[in-house]
């Protein structure tokens, strides 16, 4: 393990609603501090005003056809939407050596899978697709409830996850979310048939954030659905 890597739970900052670019500057500030050893592992939990962000693998065909502005970012993955009613998490944590980005992404997904379970939802991973999904059942196709996109620089993570709580899912209709054209998106509110505000999901997600720094397990919650 890196001498500065911590097995403890990261500090959590509930930041409220924050403009995307303002939050990005705060991520960068925290990242520099964690790299320098002057700050400990931290997770920002917040909401954004409506915005599209495009990761490094975004194709021009994924982007909004109506010319809606998109912020290009340096995370993995493709295009997604952030906005009111969506809980966004930015873990700024030092990874242990040897750095295993895939194992870290699996731990982020496990936080969200565990949070969904507290709401009575059986969420899963789908082989070949990023994020957290509700599997096909009762004639309903698989649908994505949370997106994950990360970057690791100098051993410390940036970007993170977005859990759809009670957001306007029509915002995803103008893009090909995460580059996946043959599956839909959903939210806690849609699946539970009641309003689940971000405030309710905050406590649930925060309870599971300690697993971000835990050793990676075999990841049994993987569905062998079709690859993209």
Catalytic residues: 178
Task: Work out the end-to-end distance of the chain between its first and last CA atoms, rounded to an integer number of angstroms.
Answer: 34
3-state secondary structure of 156: strand
Question: What residues contact 124, with CB distance under 8 A and at least 6 apart?
Answer: 113, 132, 133, 134, 135, 221, 222, 223
3-state secondary structure of 190: helix
Do residues 209 and 10 touch, judged by C-beta distance below 8 A?
A: yes
At 176, give phi and psi (nearest 5°): -100, 95
């Amino acid at each position: 393990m890196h001498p500065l890597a911590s097995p403890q739970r990261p500090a959590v900052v509930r930041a409220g609603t924050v403009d995307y670019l303002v939050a990005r500057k705060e991520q960068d500030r925290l990242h520099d501090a964690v790299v320098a050893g002057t700050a400990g592992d931290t997770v920002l939990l917040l909401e954004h005003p409506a915005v599209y962000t495009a990761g490094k693998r975004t194709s021009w065909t994924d982007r909004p056809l109506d010319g809606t502005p998109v912020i290009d970012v340096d995370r993995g993955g493709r295009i997604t939407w952030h906005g009111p009613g969506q809980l966004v998490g930015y873990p700024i944590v030092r990874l242990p050596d040897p750095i295993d980005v895939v194992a870290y992404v699996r731990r982020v997904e496990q936080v969200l899978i565990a949070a969904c379970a507290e709401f009575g939802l059986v969420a899963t991973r789908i082989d070949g697709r990023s994020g957290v999904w509700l599997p096909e059942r009762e004639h309903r196709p698989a649908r994505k409830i949370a997106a994950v996109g990360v970057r690791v620089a100098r051993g410390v993570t940036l970007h993170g996850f977005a859990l759809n709580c009670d957001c306007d899912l029509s915002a995803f209709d103008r893009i090909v979310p995460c580059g996946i054209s043959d599956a839909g998106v959903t939210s806690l509110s849609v699946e539970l048939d009641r309003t689940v505000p971000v405030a309710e999901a905050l406590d649930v997600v925060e309870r599971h954030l300690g697993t971000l720094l835990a050793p990676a397990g075999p990841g049994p919650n993987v569905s062998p659905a079709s690859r993209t």
